[in-house]
Structure 1
Amino acid sequence: MKRNMLFALLALGISSSAIAAQSDADFLAAHGLAGKTTEQMVEAIDSSPAARPLAYNAGVTSTELKLSDGKQQFSYPLGDKFYLSFAPYLTQTHPCQNHSLSGCRGELANTPFDVKVTDNSGNVLVHKSMTSHANGFVGIWLPRNIEGKIEVSYQGKKASAPIATHENSQTCLTTLPLQS
């Protein structure tokens, strides 16, 4: 049936890219993402209160947001920003390279943290109180192509780790054990 519909649309002069764009629009609309920028989509998915895993796959690499329904995959470039999602923890974590917006879960959901990010030149990029999402992660947008350090504190405990925002840098930071 889908094949016959594809041929009918092609016969009417509707290109396969227009068909893909329609599928893309339908996917975004079905998941409440229509009309959002890539940055807004990442934030909406990461901050979703829905239990993980979500009904669709969503991941963020150093260069793009990837969405999939299991049949089709859609990609959206991040542009000149880098998304780093981090999950400070007390007792448990998981290894991760690229953040699964739809699947990763951190230990400390809905928890306030003091966050400071500095680049290697000493410039403070972020310094504020931030609360983790229902998935236990906090997400921040950073400039591309920097190296630096993230420091997180919570109830007298602290964690820090080096960060980088290069083309192949990790977007999921799960190596922040909170210690006294």
Structure 2
Amino acid sequence: MRKFFVLSFLLILFLCLCSIPKGYAKEIPDIETKVKNGHVTLKVNEKGDEYKFFKNGAPVYEGDSNEYSDDVSTIGDKYKIGIFQKDKLKKVVTLNVSNDLGEKALNSSEESYAEDLMAYQIQNGHLNVIADAESVQLSWDELPDKDGVYEVYRDDQKIGETTNQEFIDYPCEIR
């Protein structure tokens, strides 16, 4: 069974980001993520004048500090971080943070263990997205599968395959 990553929501994000001057955001930022006892600290190691942190879609911090700390929900949280320089959006980083206090046990039913494991890992897995004006870098948790091939889709169109747990797309390039 092949794994599918539908990237249609990223197209809209990139249409917006493609208008950012190409002089910005050529390197992928280094985000330090530390989770301990259900608490997360995120530190952006890329220079910016202002940072905006969003947790599960809601704004949680806006200011000049490149660090943010908070409690992680039981099932984990999705963060988006906007890095601004000279009042212009330089880069957007999206990442998922899992809680380290333990995960739910697999729910055994009529399905086989392998199917339960796959369903559990898809439901609880994380897709991390780092987007800038030129590219989208995806990384994800490993999913158990016989062929080990991940198919990557954008707008319901297959754009690539990989056996790695990462993929870089350049949606603004002419294919």
Fold similarity call, TM over 0.5: no
Q: Looking at CA atoms only, which structure, 1 or 2, has the larger radius of gyration?
A: 1
TM-score (norm 1): 0.24
Q: Which has the higher contact order (CA 8 A, sep 6+)?
A: 2
Higher helix share: 1
Higher strand share: 2
